[in-house]
């Protein structure tokens, strides 16, 4: 996780620790995207053969960071809007760009939304501490709500587990469940359409034969 615009931030430590609370496995780096000395903390991620992807809202500095890491102004950048501080959606397509050392950078348009699908494993890996606690819950399908002997609840009550962190975990799993349902629905519709087309085709064949 990269926090940009370090040079404009009055209290970077507080910001960093706030983001760190999202998950203790997160690596949170802060950079001034305009300064290569500052962005050099990201070089360990940019090894030859690796591809790094810039994801984040418009105006956050993805293209600025790409240019500094590339050592060349390949991507157009644009000042954020003065009235509301939002980006101008300057980058409109994905670009794969080669760094001098052999790593690739994928600069992307500022995203409005990121949809999840089949992310259970990723969520489990990210929130491994919650998953470990959940294994000791009395019920294997514990929702960590009001079930008896829920280890996750216990950790939340004692403060060992951060409430926000648990909320994010639950939110991601709920979103995943919902997306899986809409995906299944969409696939069922396609299957139905496929069957309809087959039926029509065989009717046409019959008519032609007769």
Ligand X SMILES: Nc1nc2c(ncn2[C@@H]2O[C@H](COP(=O)(O)OP(=O)(O)OP(=O)(O)O)[C@@H](O)[C@H]2O)c(=O)[nH]1
Residues in touch with ligand X (CB under 6 A): 4-5, 7-8, 32-34, 56, 58-64, 77-80, 87-91, 109-110
Q: What is the CA radius of gyration of the chain?
A: 24
Closer by beta carbon to ligand X, 60 or else 126 = 60
Q: Is 54 in the site for Zn ion (CB under 5 A)?
A: no
Q: C-beta of 132: minimal distance to Zn ion in Å?
A: 12
Site string for Zn ion, 126-145 (x = CB under 5 A): -----------x----x-x-
Instruction: Write the CA distances from 183 to 117, 176, 186, 190, integer angstroms.
Output: 8, 10, 5, 11
Residues 6+ apart with CB under 8 A from 7: 32, 34, 35, 38
DSSP reduced 3-state for 96: strand
C-alpha–C-alpha distance, residues 67 and 76, integer Å: 9
Q: Which of 63, 67, 68, 126 contacts Mg ion by CB under 5 A? A: 63
Judged by beta carbon distances under 5 to 8 A according to partner kind, the member of ligand X, Mg ion, Zn ion, none in contact with residue 144 is Zn ion
Q: How far apart are CA 41 and CA 46, in angstroms?
A: 10
By beta-carbon proximity to Mg ion, the closer residue of 12 and 56 is 56
Question: What is the rounded CA–CA span in Å between residue 22 and residue 15?
Answer: 12
Task: From the list Zn ion, Mg ion, ligand X, none, pick the one residue 78 interacts with, judged by a Cβ distance below 5 to 8 Å according to partner type.
Answer: ligand X
* Site for Zn ion, residues 151 to 170, rule: CB under 5 A: 152
Residues engaged in binding Mg ion (CB under 5 A): 62-63, 90-91
């Amino acid at each position: 996780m990269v926090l940009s615009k370090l040079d404009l931030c009055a209290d970077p430590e507080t910001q960093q620790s706030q983001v760190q609370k999202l998950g203790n496995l997160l690596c949170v780096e802060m950079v001034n995207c305009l300064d290569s000395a500052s962005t050099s903390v990201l070089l360990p991620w940019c090894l030859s053969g690796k591809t790094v992807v810039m994801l984040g809202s418009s105006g956050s500095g993805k293209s600025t960071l790409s240019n500094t890491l590339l050592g060349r102004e390949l991507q157009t950048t644009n000042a954020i809007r003065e009235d509301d501080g939002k980006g101008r959606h300057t980058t409109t397509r994905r670009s794969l760009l080669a760094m001098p050392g052999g790593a690739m950078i994928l600069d992307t348009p500022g995203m409005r939304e990121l949809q999840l699908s089949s992310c259970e494993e990723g969520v489990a890996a990210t929130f491994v501490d919650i998953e470990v606690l959940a294994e000791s819950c009395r019920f294997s399908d514990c929702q960590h709500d009001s079930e008896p002997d829920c280890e996750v609840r216990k950790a939340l009550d004692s403060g060992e587990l951060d409430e926000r962190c648990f909320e994010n975990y639950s939110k991601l799993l709920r979103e995943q469940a919902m997306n899986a349902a809409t995906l299944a629905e969409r696939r069922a519709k396609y299957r139905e359409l496929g069957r309809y087309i087959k039926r029509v085709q065989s009717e046409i064949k019959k008519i032609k034969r007769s």
